[in-house]
Amino acid sequence: MEQQKEGKTTAIVAYFTIVGALIAMSMNAEPKNAFARFHTRQAFGLHIIFIGCALFLSQWFNQYAFYGLYMFYFVLWVYGFLGALSNKEQSVPVLGPYFQKWFTFIQ
């Protein structure tokens, strides 16, 4: 049977909406876990980018731009979520390394 990695539950919770990412931050407050911190930063970044782009696109409504945003978000979300499920610290393509740099306040 595969061993459960420390912080896996916290990492999975982080991918469920921005509220889940905030809950994961508090779950990882004590004891601190590097795996949970990695995925919390990835999920928080995905949610923030999605909300920011959605707010921007809401000013200049273009149906196809919203389709592209949702596809982009969904593909990256699935990639990150599957990484958390499979106990891997794989960053999401394109934006993942930036999330690790930008969100260093997430401990």
Total number of residues shown for the chain: 107
At 79-99, the pLDDT tens digits run 999 999 998 888 898 898 999
| Gap between the Cα atoms of 46 and 15, Å rounded | 9
Q: Residue 19: exposed, middle, or buried by beta-carbon count in 10 A (0-12, 13-18, 19+)?
A: exposed
pLDDT above 90 covers what percent of the chain? 49
| Gap between the Cα atoms of 91 and 88, Å rounded | 9
pTM check: above 0.85: yes
At 26-65, the pLDDT tens digits run 988 888 888 999 999 999 999 999 999 999 988 887 888 8
Q: Tell me the average pLDDT of the chain.
A: 88
Tell whether the torsion through CA atoms of 24, 25, 30 and 35 is positive or negative: positive
Q: Are 35 and 5 in contact (CB under 8 A)?
A: yes
Whether the predicted pLDDT of 69 surpasses 60: yes
End-to-end Cα separation, the chain, in angstroms: 30
Whether the predicted pLDDT of 5 surpasses 80: no
For residue 4, the model assigns a pLDDT of 58
Q: For the chain, give every domain's residue range.
A: 8-99
In the chain, the amino acid numbered 32 is K
